[in-house]
Amino acid sequence: MIRIALAALLAVFAAPASATELFEAAGNWQGEGMIATGPRAPLERGRCRVEIAPAAGGGDVSITGSCAVAAGLSDISLRLVRGAGGKVNAGFWSAATAQTVQFAGTETDGAIVMEATGALVLDEVPYQSRVEVETGGAEGFTLRQMLRAEGEDAWRLVVDMAYRQAGG
């Protein structure tokens, strides 16, 4: 099992061309870019494939799939819930970390910023986790995840991926 720092990687996989459509996306999505296989590991080429299933009403979406790097594959599962006033909450599980992590953040002007509400523990070290998503037009979006050990000032980039709808 690989130790990809994915706790937030999929917190916004569902985002289509506009963040305001976050909970309307459906079907297969794929991402290509860079992923670190651990909190201090260098970035390496990676790919993700997910199936997105929005709930009726547009305020809830489930995402399941996997991400891969040369070291292996990690299954993932995510549920996002949109709240009032641009709030977004998420629960994310990854086989790579064997943890469920809760996130909270905001959705404004085509961008989503979320932070973990508790520590993500990797290699017995607690980390704060942050996800930033920027829409890139009708083709998809870019997702960046950062980690920092508790007490550190600087964030470390651990995911930099560009997503598009599969087959598009």
Q: Name the E strands within 37-155.
A: 43-54, 60-69, 72-82, 87-94, 99-108, 111-116, 120-122, 125-135, 141-149
78 and 92 Cβ atoms separated by less than 8 Å: yes
Q: Please state the domain extents for the chain.
A: 19-165
| pLDDT tops 50 at residue 17 | no
Residue percentage of the chain with pLDDT more than 90 = 23
Please give the pLDDT value at position 10.
Answer: 43
Query: Cα(57)–Cα(102) distance, rounded to whole angstroms?
Result: 22
Question: What's the CATH number of domain 19-165, 3.40.1410.10, 2.40.128.20, 1.20.1250.20, 1.10.420.10?
Answer: 2.40.128.20
Please give the pLDDT value at position 37.
Answer: 85
pTM > 0.85: yes or no: no
105 and 114 Cβ atoms separated by less than 8 Å: yes
Please give the pLDDT value at position 42.
Answer: 92
